Amino acid sequence: MKAKRNQIMICGVFLGIFLIKMLISVAPLFLTLNNKTVNAVIMQLELEGKNEKDTTEKELMKEKKFFDEDIVFHCYTLIPIIIETNILHNQEHCLFVQTYHPVVPTPPPNT
């Protein structure tokens, strides 16, 4: 039982890392970032995606640059506008309401 739980936790960690990387790579579409910031993110993802066989000694000696650009987040406050529409109340007035109920004479009982 512990092995199954550990396996699920490890899968969750890897899935979480994958989702975070995907969100980072798609972030320039939704956020207003400088070109330097976008280039730094793309270069970081490319460095992580390369195999060790592809890297040369020159690239290994390079210092990783972390970006310290100001990330601009746009916060929009949503103010819901409530329009009072009571559909059932409006439809009740459309129904046919019979105000006059004619009296039906009942026959006398047979005795």
pLDDT of the residue at 13? 95
Count of residues in the chain:
111
What amino acid is encoded at 91 in this protein?
A: Q
Q: What DSSP string runs through 56-70?
A: -HHHHHSPPPPP-PP
SS3 32: strand
Task: Going residue by residue through the chain, which has 111 residues, state the pLDDT in tens, using 9 for 90 and above.
Answer: 788 999 999 999 999 999 988 887 787 677 776 777 777 777 877 777 666 555 565 665 555 555 545 555 666 777 777 666 656 556 666 666 667 777 788 888 876
How much is the pLDDT for 36?
Answer: 77
Per the listing, tokens 């009571």 go with 86
Closest CA to 72 of 36, 20, 31, 37: 31
Q: Which H helix or E strand runs over 20?
A: helix 2-30
Q: How many Cα atoms sit within 13 Å of 42 on the Cβ side?
A: 8
